[in-house]
Amino acid sequence: MELRGIGRHIGMLALVAAVFATVVAEGVYRSGVASRIEYLYSDLWHRFAGPREAPHHTALVMLDDPTLNERPDEPLSFWTPHFARAVATLREAGVKVIAIDFIFSGSPERWIEKLGLMGGDASRSYDRPFREQINQGSVLLAGVKVGAGETVNDFILPSPDYLLALPEMDMTRHVGLANLRSDADGAVRRFALAEADTEFARKEGLPPMALAPLAAARATAQGVAAPWKFGGRELEGRREMPIAFAGPPGTYHALSFRKLLAPDAAKDPEVRALAGKVVVIGAGYAGMNDVHPTPYSTSIGGANTLMTGPEIQANIVETLLAGRFIDETPAPVRLGVFVLLLGAIAFVGMRLSAWRAVVLVVIAAQLAAFAAYLLFKQGQLFPVAHLHLGMIIVLVGLALLRMSREQRERERIGQMFGRYVSPQVVTALLASPELPELGGQARQVTVLFSDIRNFTTISEKLTAKEVVEMLNTYFERACAALLVEGATIDKFIGDAIMAEFGAPLDQPDHARRALRAAIELYAVATDFRLWMEARFPDRELPVFDIGIGLHSGEAVVGNIGSSARMEYTAIGDTVNVASRLEGKTKETGCHILASHDTVTCAGAGVRIGARHSLAVKGRHQEVAVCEILGMDKQ
């Protein structure tokens, strides 16, 4: 029943520790305070996973340096005819949707007219091919939201010349916002379907959707109003979602823009392979600013490669069309795992030493991280950093609980042994890194018994009050002599004293200490005769005298007794022999009688007198004993 009660107590403490750690970890998780630490883990998962899946629904066309080198004298602002030709090639190849990740905020025709470089008719026909491609549909232009989206000035949009060319002049279906959302550390990990879902934008017909989600919606014949359905899920516009990157920068094999401008480009196998896909056209030349840190760009692991904006846009489109989402663990599951795992750590940790508890938490943290990585590969993002935080809280709680428990245990031991041993022994006990096992343990000790001779005769001639006074005065002096040598005063048995040396604190020289204590105790008894004569004159009392018996060997020491009453004592054959030897002092006429085992264990310098071989009750063999006369000073 007692063990069951202890188990319940530990279980309750473990549950309390787990719930407290879970509440703290969950609070930190929801507040986002430790989000940067969580990013480190998720970034590592991306790094370890490497290229995950080849993109099947999207492709990337990059305006790269080889393309620019073929036309070094043409400013990019005047490249709209080339874009028209590239779009025509893609359309001929059977591309489903073309998302151009460029901001055509200026029109070359207006510059031509302003500079007077061409005639009026010629200047107004420069962009006609591009406008015609825009007007045919399936081409998405890019804009940018630079403010809160509450005024027109919060948007940078394509030139009005191109907006007028949109089918039905509908910006909401043909212009997407190319903004990329960055986390607190500047890395792009998430996206939202709607970037400007405001009352003002809806009223003015401004583009609400982000460029990549708009391309995915158009590819699946969906409108611009929420909710959208991708991968069998209904998604809201403002909710942010992790980007399921196909892999590190360069995972998309980008097609060079110049291949779309080559003669018979639509027959090129690489171009024909784009059929049925969403193609993102963007800039990939040296010196451009459209590069961003991603999970593959953080400093951990030495990777610092940035990813281009068009490749990020392509990853977002692929995430939606492939339905390959990375889901954050639902709150009920997350909290359940936290409570169960932290509770198990607390429950087991309470039964372990401090360093073993640390090892347990380290191993659990590694296993949790590995499990989180496996979940990531299955599309689940588990907050392992916050779980680790909970583990640290549990570990700190275990340390505090252990300190409190040890403090209480030390106080209990101090109170218990303070009655038996000297203050120096108590101090040494409490300073020891390992407290004594009070339940009982076998130790090598020397047991001393001392008895007052003729006590019955003395007590008959004194009143009860005088007997108590005599015993208290003698015991006070006797115990002082014993405690000087580090004895543990076990008990008083009437007029007898039982003490042991070597417990609860280890004393390698316990036998030598016991012999010195016995010699000093006999000196105390001799001196006490004068007190007796002065205190009780003319009572015709016998001369005050004592007998002392000592024996060394193994004994079981610890708290022994019942649930109602327990005491710290020693039991075993060693105790019995020491008691019998004390009784033999009268027969042998010796005041101090020690076994040969005690004398041998004490070492050199013990002055002995008569030797005896005595039959002791409870033993078949006689015990070799020696009279102790004194000890040489060393």
Contacts 24+ apart (CB under 8 A), 82-87: 82/257, 82/261, 83/130, 83/133, 83/281, 84/129, 84/130, 84/132, 84/133, 85/129, 85/260, 85/261, 86/61, 86/257, 86/260, 86/261, 86/281, 87/130, 87/133, 87/139
Dihedrals phi, psi of 122, to nearest 5 degrees: -65, -40
Longest dimension (CA), the chain: 150
Cα gap 335→269, rounded to integer Å: 52
pLDDT for 10 equals 60
Residue 355 carries which side chain, given as an amino acid letter?
W
- State how far the alpha carbon of 605 is from the alpha carbons of 397, 482, 628, in Å: 54, 20, 11
pLDDT for 413 equals 57
Measured in whole angstroms, the distance separating CA 477 from the mean position of its chain's CA atoms is 57
User: Could you read off the pLDDT of 260-298 as tens digits, one per residue?
Assistant: 999 999 899 999 999 999 999 999 888 888 899 999 986
- State how far the alpha carbon of 222 is from the alpha carbons of 90, 274, 381, 386, in Å: 22, 21, 28, 38
**What are the domain boundaries of the chain?**
2-33+327-412, 65-274+289-316, 423-631
Architecture in CATH for domain 423-631? 2-Layer Sandwich (3.30)
DSSP 206-248: ---BBHHHHHHHHHTT--SSS-EEETTEEE-SS--EE---SSS
Q: Give the residue ranges of the chain where pLDDT is below 50.
A: 1-7, 302, 422, 424, 428-429, 435
Name residue 228's beta-bridge partners.
235
- Say whether pTM exceeds 0.85: no
pLDDT for 346 equals 84
Helices 331-349 and 2-31 cross at an angle (nearest 10°) of 140
Name residue 263's beta-bridge partners.
none
pLDDT for 405 equals 62
Q: Which of 491, 471, 494 is nearest to 482 (CA)?
A: 491
pLDDT for 197 equals 79
Structure tokens at 165: 């060319």
Residue 589 has what DSSP assignment?
A: T
User: Could you read off the pLDDT of 314-331 as tens digits, one per residue?
Assistant: 999 999 999 999 988 888
Cα gap 57→542, rounded to integer Å: 114
